[in-house]
Amino acid sequence: MKKIINQPADIVTEMVSGLTRAYPDFIKRLDDTNVIVKTEQTSQVQLISGGGSGHEPSHAGFVGDGMLSAAVCGEVFTSPTPDQIYEASKAVNTGAGVFFIIKNYSGDVMNFDMAKDMAEMADIQVDFVIVDDDIAVENS
């Protein structure tokens, strides 16, 4: 399989830029982060997921109407930071709270849990579910 990579250090930033430029009516980048959000949020509970990049279209490919409100893209095979997840929570929260869909990967669970604490300190209501459907991991 061939890959198009300009600079390995920029791969996630360029992936996010490419997606948001391809679908500007539906998604946008949150400031200078690797967070993708829907262009329009509803007044419902907002869904957020994320994880390490390198498994596209997961997670960024699932942002849109009836799907995720935001995807937090970590570096390649690296969980997103609690700060990134918290910024996504602030950006999409419309007052009804946010719901994290977390993959059962230790880094994702830990960082989303820290982001949950940060968001709750900012009076954002947060709940979550941990999913484990990775066929590459035994007993998942």
Characterise 77 by phi-psi region: left (phi > 0), alpha (psi -120 to 50), beta (else): left
In a domain, 40, yes or no: yes
Which pLDDT score, from 0 to 100, does residue 139 have?
Answer: 67
Provide the pLDDT for residue 118: 99
- Reference 41, options 64, 24, 61; nearest CA is 64
* Cβ contact 28:36 at 8 Å: yes
Residue 132: predicted pLDDT: 86
Nearest CA to 50 out of 29, 65, 68 is that of: 68
Q: What is the pLDDT of residue 23?
A: 96
30 domain residue, yes or no: yes
Question: What pLDDT, on a 0 to 100 scale, did the predictor assign at position 135?
Answer: 73
| Tens of each residue's pLDDT in the chain, 140 residues | 787 889 989 999 999 999 999 999 999 999 989 999 999 999 999 999 999 998 777 899 999 999 999 999 999 999 999 999 999 999 999 999 999 999 988 999 999 999 999 999 999 999 999 998 667 767 65
Examine residue 59 and say whether the peptide bond preceding it is cis (omega within 30 degrees of 0).
yes
CB neighbourhood size of 38 (10 A): 20
Q: Please count the structural domains in the chain.
A: 1
Is 89 within a domain? yes
Q: Is 25 contained in some domain?
A: yes
Domain that holds residue 75: 8-131
Residue 140 lies in a domain: no
